[in-house]
């Protein structure tokens, strides 16, 4: 039996950053474990501080990042801009904005998508699915 057959299938790693545990839970609930059949199962990586986000993103392996623009003391929009500046081929980022009118700030942050509060579970899921598909289509499979 080959090791490929026994290896676990690839997971879609989604980082969820917010200083608010309930916000992280809402995002995880909205996305679910398998939001679409053409995507691998989701593995969530939760971060409650911006330092944890930087450490996790620097380590690599994240497919999509969901950043809370209302997090305190470091909001997700400034963090998104920092990640886009510092990480080569940065994974796509979804920013949760305080209101619809903050979409221009999400553009400034270089986020790939934005969903306003109050969070609409369908909008969050749709954005993560679109960003995941984009990320996975850019990855080249390993050559044997």
| CATH number, domain with residue 20 | 3.40.50.2300
Per-residue confidence band for 125, with pLDDT thresholds at 50, 70 and 90: very high
Q: What three-state secondary structure class fits 61?
A: coil
**In this structure, is residue 108 part of a structural domain?**
yes
Domain count, the chain: 1
H or E segment to which residue 26 belongs: helix 21-31
Domain ranges, residue 20: 10-137
The 10 Å Cβ neighbour count of residue 124 is 22
Residue located via tokens 């903050």? 102
Quick check: is 51 in a domain? yes
Q: Is residue 142 part of a domain?
A: no
Per the model's pLDDT, the better-predicted residue between 118 and 9 turns out to be 118
114 by DSSP, 3-state: which?
strand
Instruction: Indicate if the pLDDT at residue 140 is higher than 60.
Output: no
Q: Is 2 contained in some domain? A: no
- The answer to whether position 53 is within a domain reads yes
Q: 């749709």: which residue's tokens?
A: 126
pTM: 0.90
Phi then psi for residue 93, to 5 deg, are: -125, 130
Whether 37 has a pLDDT exceeding 70, the answer reads yes
């Amino acid at each position: 039996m080959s090791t490929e057959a026994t290896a676990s299938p690839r997971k879609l790693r989604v980082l969820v950053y917010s200083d608010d545990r309930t916000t992280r839970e809402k995002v995880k609930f909205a996305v679910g474990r398998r939001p679409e059949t053409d995507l691998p199962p989701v593995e969530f990586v939760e971060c409650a501080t911006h330092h944890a986000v930087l450490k996790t993103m620097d380590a690599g392996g994240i497919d999509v990042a969901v950043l809370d623009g209302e997090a305190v003391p470091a909001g997700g929009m400034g963090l998104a801009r920092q990640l886009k500046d510092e990480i080569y081929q940065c994974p796509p980022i979804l920013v949760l904005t305080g209101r619809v009118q903050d979409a221009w700030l999400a553009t400034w942050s270089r986020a790939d998508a934005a969903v306003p509060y109050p969070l609409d579970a369908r909008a969050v899921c749709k954005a993560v699915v679109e960003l995941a598909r984009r990320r996975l289509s850019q990855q080249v499979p390993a050559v044997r």
